[in-house]
């Protein structure tokens, strides 16, 4: 199928918003390795997660069997304020590249929070409210998760405390203000409000913080505050489950025009948007119905899939969380200070790690100046200023489209445009002024983190 009969944006009608999430684990021939209790090193039982997560989310985290899970009406109602999200045909990008490839992108920046994170934020806030909790704690790095969760908590009238990585707290004052506007409390991390924060400050007083360290603080705060639980915006199985709505909508929208992707590309930080985008296509792959290539794109300065180890590790720096088997750079890993391109988490979703390990997907890493080159090219052709994170996927989609140009193949490429970059102008400014530098850790540098 080809030609201009395919619209610029494929918009599913509101009543075709998927009513169920798809749980990819149900179709995996082998399950990801179980989470381990950090003290006993035994597989975690659901009840052991209750002090950290609300019950329904603890259940979803460990449920590898239920293939489809009903989306509660209150969540569906909220989804309708911004979903189904548009699937764009990137005609202008195709033309500028002179490629015969057909390029589609699923645009998740089309809601007020500006990223896909709202898909899981609203679900997690709903279940917390339904359980009658007193409040939630979380961390945020670049700020998109804090923004999305503060919106979701405002909707359900649920108090929220956000530990924001100190570096971005200082760099992105407007992110802070948005989160505060929605009524959440925000604390730069590491802070002196937790043991984990105080320990990290004692070790590295001038640290700009990391996601792993903010997670330690948020978890500690939750388990020491009456009626509070912790929520996380990526990595976890439950988050990939909620994000499956991205892939389900994409697949239906493409099917309206008899399209099916040959290549599916997503940026990968903790793996939630990629896991969600690929879910129903990976299902086809696992069940032998189709065989698309699936590519995870990560920054060369934080290369968990391409250069990490597949091993049990903590999800946080302070080692208070359960252990997960995943591709990891070591929980003490902090990307170089000149890294402005997002996707800074030290490890990758256990589900994606397992699929990658078993050969169902590929991974590539790009240096950030190369990524920002793609971002500016995309903004000029398609008129959307992409988030630095999303721009990793754009880089790879452009490179695949250029390979099609060289070979003359008209492949169908689908990538996830996870968000807009309007709060990341400091990073764009670095790129445009030529002060952006790249940092690729040496093997010796990585070894120091693995060793700990």
Ligand X SMILES: *Cc1c(COP(=O)(O)O)cnc(C)c1O
**Interface region with ligand X, contact rule CB under 6 A, candidates 7-15, 99-107, 129-137, 266-274:** 266-274
Residue from the set 23, 85, 115, 332 that interacts with ligand X by CB under 6 A: 115
User: Mask 419-438, x = binds ligand X (CB under 6 A)?
Assistant: x-------------------
Comparing CB distances to ligand X, the nearer of 89 and 117 is 117
Size of the site for ligand X (CB under 6 A): 18
Residue 261 binding ligand X, by CB under 6 A: no
For ligand X, the closer of residues 158 and 235 by Cβ is: 235
Give DSSP secondary structure letters for 413-443.
Answer: EEEEE-BB-TT-HHHHHHHHTT--------H
* Candidates 32-40, 130-138, 150-158, 386-394; binding stretch for ligand X (CB under 6 A): 386-394
User: 6 vs 141, which CB is nearer to ligand X?
Assistant: 141
Burial class (CB in 10 A: 0-12, 13-18, 19+), 381: middle
The verdict on 389 binding ligand X (CB under 6 A) reads yes
Sheet with 135-140: list strands edge to edge. 185-189, 160-165, 135-140, 228-230
CB of 116 to ligand X, least distance (A): 6
Cβ-closest position to ligand X? 419
Residue 343 in contact with ligand X, rule: CB under 6 A: yes
Mask: binding to ligand X, 137-166, rule CB under 6 A, as x and -? -------x----------------------
Contact 108, 258 (CB under 8 A): no
Write down the least CB distance from residue 418 to ligand X, Å.
3
What sections of 172-210 are H helices per DSSP? 173-181, 195-203
φ and ψ at 164, to 5 degrees? Answer: -105, 130
The CA–CA distances, whole Å, from 107 to 112, 209, 242, 392, 394 equal: 13, 30, 16, 14, 12
Q: Is residue 303 close enough to count as binding ligand X by CB under 6 A?
A: no
Q: How far is the CB of 5 from ligand X (least distance, A)?
A: 31
Distance CA 401, CA 410 (A): 9
Collapse the DSSP code of 115 into the 3-class scheme (helix H, G, I; strand E, B; otherwise coil) and give the result: strand
* Alpha-carbon span 345 to 324, nearest angstrom: 14
β-pairing verdict for 160-165 and 412-417: unpaired
Handedness of CA 323, 326, 329, 335 (dihedral sign): negative
Question: What's the closest the beta carbon of residue 412 comes to ligand X, in angstroms?
Answer: 22
Q: Is 273 in the site for ligand X (CB under 6 A)?
A: yes
Return the residue of 110, 161, 234, 368 that touches ligand X, per CB under 6 A: 234
From the list 120-128, 165-173, 366-374, 385-393, the region that binds ligand X by CB under 6 A is: 385-393
CB of 117 vs ligand X, minimal distance in Å: 5
Residues forming beta bridges with residue 139, ordered by sequence position: 163
Which of 207, 165, 161, 197 lies closest to 182, judged by CA? 161
Under rule CB under 6 A, residue 117 binds ligand X: yes
Instruction: Please say which residue, 261 or 419, places its beta carbon nearer to ligand X.
Output: 419
| Residue 353 interacting with ligand X (CB under 6 A) | no
* Candidates 206-214, 272-280, 286-294, 439-447; binding stretch for ligand X (CB under 6 A): 272-280
Per the CB < 8 A criterion, the answer to whether 82 and 118 are in contact is yes
- Alpha-carbon span 210 to 200, nearest angstrom: 10
Which range of residues in 5-13, 269-277, 354-362, 395-403 is near ligand X by CB under 6 A?
Answer: 269-277
Give the CA distances from residue 119 to residues 94, 130, 405, in Å, rounded to whole numbers and listed in that order. Answer: 29, 17, 35
Residues that bind ligand X (CB under 6 A): 115, 117, 144, 234, 267-274, 343, 387, 389-390, 418-419
């Amino acid at each position: 199928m080809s030609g201009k009969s395919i619209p610029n944006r494929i918009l599913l009608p509101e009543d075709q918003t998927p009513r169920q999430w798809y749980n990819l684990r149900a179709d995996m021939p082998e399950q990801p390795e179980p989470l381990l209790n950090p003290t006993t090193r035994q597989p975690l039982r659901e009840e052991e997660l209750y002090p950290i997560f609300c019950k329904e989310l603890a259940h979803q985290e460990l449920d590898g069997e239920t293939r489809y899970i009903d989306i509660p009406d209150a969540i569906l109602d909220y989804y309708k304020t911004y979903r189904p999200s548009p699937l764009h045909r990137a005609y202008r990008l195709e033309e500028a590249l002179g490629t015969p490839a057909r390029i589609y992108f699923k645009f998740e920046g089309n809601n007020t929070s500006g990223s896909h994170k709202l898909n899981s934020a609203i679900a997690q806030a709903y279940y917390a409210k339904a359980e009658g909790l007193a409040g939630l704690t979380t961390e945020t790095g670049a700020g998109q998760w804090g923004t999305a969760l503060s919106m979701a908590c405002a909707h359900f009238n649920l108090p929220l405390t956000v530990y924001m990585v100190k570096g971005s707290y200082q760099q992105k004052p407007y992110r802070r203000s948005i989160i505060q506007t929605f009524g959440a409390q925000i604390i730069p991390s590491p802070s002196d409000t937790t043991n984990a924060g105080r320990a990290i400050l004692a070790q590295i007083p001038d640290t700009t913080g990391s996601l792993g360290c903010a997670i330690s603080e948020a978890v500690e705060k939750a388990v020491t505050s009456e009626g509070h639980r912790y929520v996380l915006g990526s990595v976890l199985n439950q988050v990939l489950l909620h994000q499956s709505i991205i892939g389900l909508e994409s697949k239906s929208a493409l099917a309206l025009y008899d399209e099916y992707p040959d290549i599916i590309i997503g940026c990968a930080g903790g793996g939630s948007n990629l896991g969600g985008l690929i879910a129903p296509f990976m299902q086809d792959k696992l069940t032998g119905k189709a065989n698309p290539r699936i590519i995870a794109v990560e920054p060369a300065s934080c290369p968990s899939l391409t250069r990490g180890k597949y091993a049990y590790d903590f999800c946080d720096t302070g080692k208070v969380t359960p252990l997960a088997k995943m591709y990891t750079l070591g929980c003490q890993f902090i990307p170089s200070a000149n890294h402005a391109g997002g996707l800074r988490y030290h490890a990758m979703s256990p589900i994606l790690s397992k699929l990658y390990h078993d050969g169902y997907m590929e991974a590539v890493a790009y240096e950030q100046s190369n990524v920002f080159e793609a971002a500016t090219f995309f903004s000029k052709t398609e008129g959307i200023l992409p988030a630095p994170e999303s721009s990793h996927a754009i880089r790879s989609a452009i490179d695949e489209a250029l390979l099609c140009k060289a070979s003359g193949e008209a492949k169908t490429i689908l990538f996830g445009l996870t968000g807009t970059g309007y709060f990341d102008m400091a990073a764009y400014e670095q790129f445009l002024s030529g002060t952006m530098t790249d940092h690729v850790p040496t093997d010796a540098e990585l070894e120091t983190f693995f060793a700990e």
